[in-house]
Amino acid sequence: MSESPRDHILRLRKEISEHEELYRKKHAPKISDFDFDKLVDQLADLERAHPMFAGPDLGIGDDKSEGFQQADHKAPMLSLDNTYDEAEFRAFGDRLYKTLGGTGLEFVVEPKIDGVAVSLTFEKGKFVRAVTRGNGARGDDVTANVSLIREIPRTLKSAPDFLEVRGEIYMELTEFQRLNQLREAEGEALYANPRNLAAGTLKLLDSAEAQRRRLSIVCYGLGACEPSSAFASLKEFKQQLEQWGFPIRDDIDVQQGVDAAWKAIQQLDILRRDLPFPTDGAVVKVNRLEDQRRAGTTSKFPHWAVAFKFPPDQASTILRKISMQVGRTGAITPVAELDPVLLAGSTVARATLHNADEIARKDIREGDTVRIQKAGEIIPQVLGVVLEKRPADAKPFDFEARLKELDLDAARDGEEAAYKLRAPSREMKIRRLVHFASKQCLDIDGLGDAVAEQLVDSELVNVPVDALGITPPQWRILDGFKEKSVDNMMAGLEQAKQRELWRAIHALGIPNVGMQTAKDLSRHFKSMDKLESAQTGDLLITKVGKKGGVSYESVISGVGIEVSESILSFFSDPNHRDWVKAMRTAGLNLVEAAAAGSVDGVSGKTFVLTGTLPTLGRDEARDLIEKAGGKVSGSVSKNTHYVVAGEEAGSKLTKAQELGVAILDEASLRALLGN
């Protein structure tokens, strides 16, 4: 029986709200924006045809997250209506001519940046806060993380008394790739696209972590402004933004009429591939502010602006093979090996298939012709199969059978999407050993994939730490090991035993504990003993709110709930405690040595850097402090010992003054460091 219109409407509403939640709050959408917009359009059509079943207005969603203060927008932050083809775009122009009358409409055409909207408030020319769109009327105060973006001017000369500058926070493609390379080196799942990573970064409660990921901004809009007569047109406003030093990053030519605007859209479709940020369309806005006021808005969109969405780049190609990629923690990701094809300016030969369920749901088979797409994401997605081109002998893909063929002994836990290697499997032992010996862990020269395979196959290594106890006669059994190489290996193992504590922590391969977190843990706990016996309270402070809600605060920057749970659960496994024991027996260093250049008055103290120092770059200052045994944190609290303030220091300086934290300039920092 086919679904009734009423049930169909209810189902679509439920689906839409689930996808909204994934996009706005979890920053992990399951479908493309394009598919999402299609669902919304489908719902609108159905509700128009069956108004008696129509539900309440969907609104523009809400990005509110736990742990943030909220702030009101003085002028609402609206969304944009979408158009997908020339006819729809021209209809937008026609409506405007009808309401505004006459001729001579002016437009500005800008790239639609795929990021997160923010509103920056300036009072008497001073930057006071940054707020997300939220529900349009009220959003999350993200000043702490936005303050990390140095291109935003902190003071504006001859500014209106009150000003909201609207813009888009995004992550540059090169920064996105850099972070993903780090993830790959750590064997962790890759971030799907720059937009989600930018949104996730903006909502990090831990500014030290936020500091490690560089965000950027483009400013494009005017919110509330007092006096309201300060600007006559968008062009004028954007010129002023540029003069104040805001990044605007697009030309501010004015297009006369709809034809010219349409040409500019097409031009942008060509140029967008060379832009440093992800774009999924163009935004066309009426230039004169008086015309904007006359055109008005709905509760969701302005009538004076529209988005034109470029279709995502797609291609079809043959999927030759499904291979299995094994991560550091043993998680297995199926990967489509494709006949290379040109897509959005680069050659694509692989695409992620996410997990076994995804392959089954789309019934993807080896030999199939598949459609692939690259929209905001960098890693192409397999959209589906071109069934007409399926070879007669293509068989449904049997995930478990393939694992068996590859000798991957894996299983999945109840709700988990990914198959994971069972701990004692051969592949897992090899992966763990390679990680253990890698540059970012114990840095054992000469112990790579090939040697690790031999060590595991000859049963010399069962758990990674076994490698430290292998004797010269045992090494000699392996292929390619002669007198000299055995000597080198033995020397390498001796060196490995003397390395820093964080390397041993990282070498354990605790899920979610990468190199940086290992360093933070080392600095905090100072010994493996202390880390191993840490309890929840050593990692997280539990807070009970007035209404009985429970929230958590990190004790160590970078270690939130997820990481804490990983650590606790790792050490609760007796096997893992045995590894640590074996590390101790092997003579591995498991304590943090006092920093070599430790300086009294700096060692153990927490510093926060803000503003621009006369000669020291931020990284240099951080290096000097860390070498002297100090720690650099991203946000000021009552635990901060010193705030080092330079030119244009912002809210951190104010906070330090409020809390009575000692404030240093560069000269007094140098004096403290003794240099």
CB of 464 to ligand IVH, least distance (A): 47
Please state the closest distance from residue 377 (CB atom) to ligand IVH, in A. 17
As a whole number of Å, the end-to-end CA separation of the chain is 81
Instruction: Dig out the tokens for 143 from the structure.
Output: 């000043």
112 is catalytic: yes
How far apart are alpha carbons 9 and 208 in whole angstroms? 45
Which residues of this protein are in contact with ligand IVH, per CB under 6 A? 78-80, 110, 112-113, 117, 133, 168, 220-221, 283, 302, 305, 307
Q: Considering Cα of 94, then 100, then 106, then 110, what sign does the dihedral take? A: negative
| Minimal distance, residue 112 CB to ligand IVH, in Å | 4
C-beta separation of 201 from 210 below 8 A: yes
- Listing DSSP states for 59-80 in one string gives TT-----TT--EEE-SS-----
Three-state SS at 492: helix
Can you tell me the distance from the alpha carbon of 548 to that of 675, in angstroms, rounded to the nearest whole number? 51
Alpha-carbon distance 267 to 279, whole Å?
Answer: 13
CB–CB of 421/330 below 8 Å? yes
**Residue 402: which residues within 8 A CB-CB, separation 6 or more?**
322, 324
Which residue from 131, 130, 127, 119 is spatially nearest to 156, judged by alpha carbons? 127
CA dist 625 to 241, 248, 596, 605, Å?
36, 35, 12, 9
Q: How far is CA 136 from the centre of its chain?
A: 23
Instruction: Compare residues 217 and 567 and give the one whose CB is closer to ligand IVH.
Output: 217
For 177, residues 6+ apart whose C-beta sits below 8 A from its C-beta are: 378
What span, in angstroms and rounded, lies between the C-alpha atoms of 470 and 618?
44
Task: Please state, in angstroms and rounded to a whole number, the distance separating the CA atoms of residues 516 and 503.
Answer: 10
Q: Which of 220, 262, 254, 332 is nearest to 89 (CA)?
A: 262
Q: Which is nearer to ligand IVH, 113 or 486 (CB)?
A: 113
Q: How far is CA 663 from the centre of its chain?
A: 33
Q: What residues contact 64, with CB distance under 8 A and at least 6 apart? A: 25, 70, 134, 135, 139, 140
Return the axis-axis angle of helices 666-673 and 618-627, rounded to nearest 10°: 20
CB neighbour list of residue 95: distance below 8 Å, 6 or more residues apart: 303
Nearer to ligand IVH, 117 or 656 (CB): 117
Q: How far apart are CA 348 and CA 383, in angstroms?
A: 14
Pairing of strands 70-72, 138-140: antiparallel
Q: Which two tokens stand for residue 594?
A: 């006092």
Contact 673, 625 (CB under 8 A): yes
Q: Amino acid identity, residue 547? A: K
Q: Name 570's Cβ contacts closer than 8 Å, sequence gap at least 6.
A: 508, 510, 511, 576
Q: What's the Cα-to-Cα distance from 415 to each of 171, 409, 419, 510, 514, rounded to whole Å? A: 32, 19, 11, 21, 25
CA distances from 334 to 44, 208, 405, 645, 667 (A): 37, 33, 14, 49, 55
- The residue behind tokens 């679904």 is 3
Q: How many CA atoms lie within 13 A of 562 on its CB side?
A: 7
E strand map for 494-556: 540-544, 550-554
Token pair belonging to 369: 């012709």
DSSP H or E run through 169: strand 162-170
Active-site choice (64, 74, 98, 112): 112
Kindly tell me which of 117 and 624 has the beta carbon lying closer to ligand IVH: 117
The C-alpha atoms of residue 417 and residue 399 are separated, in whole angstroms, by 13
Which are the catalytic amino acids?
112
